């Protein structure tokens, strides 16, 4: 078999993967940007973090990215970068999926069903985690 046949086969496999990733970016870019603006309070920094998150995901050739991985990674990157406000200090102490679910639901106003879908949870599980996160935040932020 000639190398040109192998190259063409590899290219054919890469193009659908690239197209799928481009669709993934188009679908989720606004959500990631809104989330990062919310956490960082700075549009320029949020644009930079959003770009970094998608670049990092594009370098992972072993699997397709999941929305949950994308959102959790975005929040983690923001928390590493953001100024240590009392809210962010409290958020750092909450588990990643719970923290991200709270941000999506209570801050960005995503419906519970959508949060559950994005984080691959059932709706009742999502509601339970949201309630637990609210309690943890209120106790950590209480004067």
pTM of the predicted protein model: 0.73
Beta-carbon-side half-sphere exposure of residue 46 (alpha carbons within 13 Å): 15
Q: Is 106 helix (H, G, I), strand (E, B) or coil?
A: helix
In whole angstroms, give the CA distance from residue 121 to residue 73.
17
User: For each of the chain's 143 residues, which pLDDT tens digit applies?
Assistant: 433 333 334 444 445 578 888 888 999 999 999 999 988 989 999 999 999 999 888 887 656 678 888 888 899 899 888 888 888 889 989 999 999 999 989 988 999 999 999 899 999 999 999 999 999 999 998 88
In whole angstroms, give the CA distance from residue 38 to residue 31.
11
| C-beta separation of 36 from 100 below 8 A | no
């Amino acid at each position: 078999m000639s190398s040109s046949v192998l190259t063409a086969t590899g290219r054919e496999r890469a193009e659908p993967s690239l197209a799928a990733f481009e669709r993934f970016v188009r679908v989720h870019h606004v959500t990631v940007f809104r989330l990062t603006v919310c956490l960082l309070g700075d549009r320029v920094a949020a644009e930079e973090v959003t770009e970094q998150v998608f670049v990092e995901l594009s370098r992972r050739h072993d699997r397709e990215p999941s929305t949950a991985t994308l959102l959790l990674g975005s929040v983690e990157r923001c928390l590493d970068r953001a100024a240590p406000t009392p809210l962010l200090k409290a958020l750092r102490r909450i588990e990643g999926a719970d923290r991200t679910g709270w941000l999506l639901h209570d801050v960005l106003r995503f419906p519970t069903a959508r949060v559950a879908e994005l984080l691959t949870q059932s709706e009742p599980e999502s509601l339970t985690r949201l309630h637990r996160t609210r309690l943890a935040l209120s106790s950590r932020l209480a004067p």
